[in-house]
Amino acid sequence: MLIGVFLLLIIFLGFAFSIGYNEPGILYFAVIFSIGYSLISYYQSSNITLALSRAKEIDRAANKELYQLVENLAIAAGLPTPKIYVIDDTAMNAFATGRDPNHAVIVFTSGIIERLNKNELIGVAAHELSHVGNYDIRLMTLVVVLVGLLTLLADFFLRFSFFGGRGRNREGGGQIQAVMIVAGFALALLSPLIAALIQLAVSRKREFLADADAALLTRYPEGLASALEKISHDPEPLEAANKATAHLYIANPLKNRKAGVGWFSKLFNTHPPAEERIRILRGMDN
């Protein structure tokens, strides 16, 4: 449904401008480019994400204890053991990516491996494996891809309007063209914002679900709660993270960017408040 909504939005964006400027090629471009971009991203998005994050794969010999920890959890969850990548950064964080459990990757920072105890690291690994088992890795990767695509096309259509569409087909355009031009402009301006809000809302919802599933998998909610407490108190931002990938991490990696206050600023938070997640997890013990 999410992919369908995004593709329809993109097609309507192209349709609005193609009618408004009497340029059918715009619609053809929007349809072909969006479908092609989505297919390529579906198969390559995890590799792109890993490259952007500067993560490197480690083998069992490099960190036998971490591999055994993840492998045991994967067996308990009935999942294939994912590949393990590490980001060389002292900030504490982790995320999972991939298009399905058979192509899943869990990424840890060197900081989280070194600074969490075993039970806390088990909680983090279980959280990320829950994202794998729930196919959140596919959902969030596609959301990232489609949001980026929508923003890119909106920018293209706006630039076309200012530079490529001026002075063309203005005579006899009629009211339909005028309405479609206005609709196209409105959609081009608002669609990136709407897409970003959808992206963030989906991310927050899936974080709560992964926390709950991790607690069920480990039977020890305090492990993940304690890990989240330490991570949330770590003031160091993750240098390899950016706005496009921030929502993938277990906790907000852009800690140097202070958020505002009030309900409006909360719309743009990539993660639910750590305090709320910790409170819910510790409530499971009671």
* Predicted confidence (pLDDT) per residue in 3-59, tens digit: 677 777 777 777 777 776 777 887 888 788 777 877 777 788 788 889 889 999 998
**Predicted local confidence at residue 265, as pLDDT:** 46
Lateral strand order in the sheet of 105-109: 55-57, 83-87, 105-109, 94-97
Share of the chain above pLDDT 90, in %: 39
Query: CB 19: neighbour CB atoms within 10 A?
Result: 20
CA dist 100 and 277 (Å) reads 26
Residue 158 is part of which domain span?
Answer: 2-283
**Predicted local confidence at residue 202, as pLDDT:** 66
Share of the chain above pLDDT 70, in %: 72
Provide the annotated active-site residues. 128
The string of DSSP letters for 176-221 reads: HHHHHHHHHHHHHHHHHHHHHHHHHHHHHHHHHHHHHHHHHHHS-H
Residues 6+ apart with CB under 8 A from 156: none
How does pLDDT run across 150-205, given as a tens digit for each residue?
A: 666 666 666 666 655 544 444 445 566 666 666 666 766 776 676 666 666 667 78
Handedness of CA 224, 95, 237, 207 (dihedral sign): negative
Q: What is the pTM of this model?
A: 0.78
Query: Cα–chain-centroid distance for residue 92?
Result: 18
> How many domains does the structure of the chain reveal?
1
Q: What three-state secondary structure class fits 96?
A: strand
